[in-house]
Amino acid sequence: MAGLSPSQSFGSSTGLQSDSTAPPPDAQAPAEQPKYFFREKYAKLGVKGNFMPLAAQPINIGLADWLAHQTVENYRLVSSIVACIQETDQGTGKPICNPESCPKMTAGSYIWLDNNRRPVAVSASQYISLVQRWLNAKVHDPKAFPTDAPGTTSTTYASGSVTTPASETPIAAGPTNLNAPLSQLAGKDWIGRDAGFPESFYNDCRTCFRQMFRIYAHIYHSHWIDPFWNLSSSSTSQGWTDLNSCFVHFCTVAKLYGLLTEKDVEPMQPLIDLWIANGSIPPAAANEESKIKPPQ
Ligand SMILES: [Zn+2]
């Protein structure tokens, strides 16, 4: 099975080599042990450095443009992770995540409900495919994500990427929405109005992040060992530390801009708490310094 290609993933071997010699997780761990991915030992990242410059809004870019960029970028990253569980398992001839292995969309004991408060009726793989189709349509819908909005000269920002060595990552200015006029957050104003974004834009971003979060949560709870732990044992593939890098970036952006609620993140809270405690999620994001308060 192919791993994440360097262009798709957080391409660093840092951490992978040292961990490749660690004993594999004990699948029969006592019930009182936290899940592997909730342990400090497995909270390491494939990429070292500060994630804040990748998440904070540069001073010369509007908030809505930046949120659109982050939504598209995080969708690209989660897609590269999803590709790993959609790979065909050579042993079974089926994708790793399939309707037999994952008949329900769950994250451990968490089961998501549909609009009628019933567990979603499709398997995890079907759910993830539907979400991917929905996200793809959303981020390519010029009405929902008008990335060629007035005043926007480019939708590609020199923010570096998570594969960019820290020394080459342009330093972004600090978050600027704290300085936004109050009128922008009140009345009939909304985030991105002046740049041509629809009134629903911020909520659309939150919905995108909520759905991407569910994909990450399912992957951690159901596929951490296969494929991600197994990939880490190969010197040519990226594994769980890269999964962590994608997810910590995702969590940093979500926290910084209030894109997920505490209830949304419950299935992964222990890992998020570990990352806040060890600084992987930067304090400015952990403290939600830029958290957006939408108009009531
Ligand atoms: Zn699955």
Which residues, at least 6 apart from 144, have a Cβ–Cβ distance to it below 8 Å? 138, 198, 200, 201, 204
CB-CB contact of 259 with 209 (8 Å):
yes
Query: So what's the pLDDT on residue 28?
Result: 53
Summarize pLDDT for 274-287 with one digit per residue, the tens. 999 999 999 989 98
Average pLDDT of the residues in 210-228: 94
Residue, of 131 and 293, whose pLDDT is higher: 131
Ligand 1 centroid–CA 122 distance in Å is 12
Q: For the domain 36-151+182-286, what is the CATH code?
A: 1.20.140.30
Query: Where do the DSSP E strands lie in the chain?
Result: 106-107, 110-111
Ligand 1 centroid–CA 221 distance in Å is 9
Give the torsion sign (CA, 289, 263, 71, 75).
positive
Ligand 1 centroid–CA 217 distance in Å is 10
97 is in an annotated binding site: yes
Ligand 1 centroid–CA 267 distance in Å is 15
Summarize pLDDT for 98-140 with one digit per residue, the tens. 999 999 999 998 988 888 888 888 999 999 999 999 999 999 9
Ligand 1 centroid–CA 112 distance in Å is 14
pTM of the predicted protein model: 0.77
Which residue type, as a one-letter code, is found at position 255? K
What three-state secondary structure class fits 142? coil
CB-CB contact of 143 with 200 (8 Å):
no
